[in-house]
Structure 1
């Protein structure tokens, strides 16, 4: 409740916002939706205004994660179609064959949970907790910066109003961010073909050390529709790639937390340029919101990266490249029987390098592109290591973060090869011993990847059963 000593200033501010949210203000609400990167169709604008009105009345703090979940699920359900029983059976068979082929290409053992087939809505619902974890630091930074601007830059005579408006603006800003995040994740659900398609494991397994492999049949069919390649070859290739990605993260149990922690630490260092916000507010023309949209979607509000962020980003990009490069090499070896495997592989690489509209939008929300920039170089590194010392020694480098190659190793793999082959100096002996000790603890879980009959972790989605 507003303090009466404010002389009604808080009520006046709320009345001004209420007029805008009801469409009575000078700014067209659809312009706000467009500036935020949301669709400007009447239904979306009405939803946005309704949620903002609700936030103004509730005066909650921060991002409304339930709203993000609801919005993601709503968008994911749009355009969703049911795959036929025959299509699902074919994909299950592809996963079974993929598991057998992978056994020949890598020493990393099979998964302990059965791969699943899921709908777009299932993917959005199950992955949103990770997206939330990645996006929250940026959302907090934006809210804090806006509050700082209000507190420091308002004229003295308006300080009383700002004292109460700050909380209100955090609530409205959090709601807008929630709508953006839900919209982006909903869009991504129509683009990804598997659980590991983004590059990080987004689906929870049975426990903290498990990874859930999954295919999205509707999106997989769309991926292959534009290629002059037999559908069963596309299915097999993408099934092998998904299982390879999931196997890697189950084997390297430290890798998931390592990646997510690096991303969130980077995001926590993001600061919003308050001077740019002030300038934007002073120059904003309600009749022409394009400048606001450009500022919000181009990253112009985020100052240049600090030295620490640049270093962290370099390490993160190297790790992402090593992951995708390893998956590429193992998948290529496992799918050598497929006549068009090279063509499918090149399509995957180009798709990952370009990214889709939703992924670009998410890079704005998080301030980070989750795409490897040195994928081809990393793949060449893994091939060189395999050619020199074999697949088992190649895969052993994932046993511990201290053993993971760096950017210099990608450029010149000779040091790593020397260490693994025993031709390095005596200091390599300690490394080899540490590696042996780490490999001795394999967990002992029974592999069931690709095996039929096991109950899935999650209930079937509304459109398709699990594998």
Structure 2
């Protein structure tokens, strides 16, 4: 029988990793030593069987055949079909040992319950593809757009520029630069999910393994304990990697995930502009205005970033996982098919409806994001008046914010956090009213103190904002007067209304 020519991930023919080595032959040698079967014979046998069974599809970020967007389990050569009927218990035991070693080696002791190392690898893999390095010309265009944006913003806001230099990133560079901040934001949710998954897998998977092979599971305890973190790390990393293909700048998610840097992603900006019939330079300048405006806000109001994280932490602290749901899903998992674990244990489906305190945290988070984006919308609209496409770009961005992309939906499902401000238009209406009635200085001074922030009631009834603010100021002044009187001894009266003797 003639061996078909090799195709990446096909499981047929000789596979060369580019260095003259056959990954399948190398894996078989590690697993079975001198008794390793001939890789070409194994391929031919599997080809005759029609490639039955589920396959390991490769290493995220690897050059091995089969690695790539399929998202297989790391450490296994690509394109190797697997069928449990062809393996005897002894052979399966050796494969289990190899798989266990793979799982343990892929997790750092510093990662904790979630395999963040694997999450980073999965994010890089998901961001790969059409991701060219940023050339000198594209970098210069971004830098010039950001410099012009800063000049235009100086004329419409009292919040000064922090003087930060701009950077242009590829998708992979965005992933690397933001991963630590994504970890800080999602870790409380991710840890809870990973631990619940691992418990369910440890309890349920032994029942799914054929009886003659259950004795082999004795040494798999550590692997099963780490499995939840591995699965969730893969899912979370894939969601962040998918997000890297949509974000336009460092703060496009409305969180400063890129740190205190003005960052833009040229390849995504170019794709965003496809079909808009707007000149490329106007798109760059408009998006640079939004990035620079957000960064002014975050740098001016240091408490703002802290409050966003506090709301996320409060939400995460109240998460309770649907363990029964995970256990039910684990019963359907084929332990010989790692991909089935990822499919069955998709994270967000096991997070029940938010509790009372969680709802309050989410409402606060939603309000803060809406106020940020509403202010940015108003300020940028004013600053971008020289652009002919100002109105069209504003409407396009606001529709994009309202609907969200597939990556945003995936991330929200995974960790239960919505990356979109639902009340953006109401917030913009309020900021426009404040600026029109009281001026730019009054409007921007509101960001100097968290106690001055508008409330949800203000978004419901913008016209009543000033009356409520006046009542709040009167109440605050009355409290200050009472405190001053107390400190000056004004309440130190005797029983008959006279002044008590002074010591």
Query: What TM-score does the superposition give when structure 2 sets the normalisation length?
Result: 0.69
CA distance change for structure 1 residues 298 and 278 in 2, over 3 Å: closer, same or farther? closer
Q: Among residues 426, 434, 451, which one is paired with 2:474 in the alignment?
A: 426
Q: CA deviation at 1:375?
A: 0.9
* Higher RCO (Cα < 8 Å, 6 or more apart): 1
Contact conserved, 2:123 with 2:240, CA < 8 A, in 1? yes
Q: CA deviation at 1:296?
A: 4.4
Contact conserved, 2:347 with 2:414, CA < 8 A, in 1? no
1:254-300: per-residue Cα shift (whole Å, max 9, x none)?
11121122113312322221111233334568999999877644833
Structure-to-structure mapping, 1:160-175, within 5 angstroms: 167-175=222-230
Q: Among residues 100, 106, 128, which one is paired with 2:151 in the alignment?
A: 100
Structure-to-structure mapping, 1:264-303, within 5 angstroms: 264-282=313-331, 296-297=345-346, 299-303=348-352
Structure 1 stretches lacking a partner, 5+ long? 1-14, 16-21, 34-40, 205-210, 434-467
Q: Among residues 42, 49, 67, which one is paired with 1:43 in the alignment?
A: 67
CA distance change for structure 1 residues 274 and 287 in 2, over 3 Å: closer, same or farther? same
Structure-to-structure mapping, 1:358-369, within 5 angstroms: 358-369=407-418
d(CA) in 2 for partners of 1:406, 1:81: 44
Structure-to-structure mapping, 1:49-60, within 5 angstroms: 49-50=74-75, 54-58=101-105
Paired residue secondary structure (2:352): coil
Paired residue secondary structure (1:105): coil
Paired residue secondary structure (1:116): strand
Q: CA RMSD in A?
A: 3.8
Structure-to-structure mapping, 1:68-467, within 5 angstroms: 68-149=119-200, 167-204=222-259, 211-282=260-331, 296-297=345-346, 299-418=348-467, 426-427=474-475, 429=477
d(CA) in 2 for partners of 1:217, 1:154: 46
d(CA) in 1 for partners of 2:422, 2:100: 42
CA distance change for structure 1 residues 216 and 31 in 2, over 3 Å: closer, same or farther? closer
Q: CA deviation at 1:154?
A: 9.4
Paired residue secondary structure (1:214): strand
Q: CA deviation at 1:428?
A: 5.5
CA distance change for structure 1 residues 430 and 213 in 2, over 3 Å: closer, same or farther? farther
Report how many aligned residue pairs link the two structures. 399
- Tell me which residue corresponds to 1:63: 114
- Tell me which residue corresponds to 1:460: none
Paired residue secondary structure (1:267): helix
1:183-219: per-residue Cα shift (whole Å, max 9, x none)?
2222222211111100111112xxxxxx211111221
Q: Which of 1 and 2 has greater Rg?
A: 2
1:58-85: per-residue Cα shift (whole Å, max 9, x none)?
4765222222223323443431224554
d(CA) in 1 for partners of 2:220, 2:335: 21
- Tell me which residue corresponds to 2:54: 28
d(CA) in 2 for partners of 1:416, 1:65: 45
CA distance change for structure 1 residues 86 and 284 in 2, over 3 Å: closer, same or farther? closer
CA distance change for structure 1 residues 386 and 300 in 2, over 3 Å: closer, same or farther? same
Paired residue secondary structure (1:311): helix
Contact conserved, 2:315 with 2:358, CA < 8 A, in 1? yes
CA distance change for structure 1 residues 432 and 221 in 2, over 3 Å: closer, same or farther? farther
Contact conserved, 1:27 with 1:287, CA < 8 A, in 2? no
d(CA) in 2 for partners of 1:97, 1:313: 36
Query: What TM-score does the superposition give when structure 1 sets the normalisation length?
Result: 0.74
CA distance change for structure 1 residues 114 and 28 in 2, over 3 Å: closer, same or farther? same
Q: CA deviation at 1:29?
A: 4.2
Contact conserved, 2:153 with 2:380, CA < 8 A, in 1? yes
Contact conserved, 1:29 with 1:49, CA < 8 A, in 2? no
Paired residue secondary structure (1:43): coil
Which stretch of structure 1 is more off in the superposition, 374-383 or 109-118?
109-118
d(CA) in 2 for partners of 1:333, 1:245: 15
CA distance change for structure 1 residues 196 and 160 in 2, over 3 Å: closer, same or farther? same
d(CA) in 2 for partners of 1:147, 1:74: 24
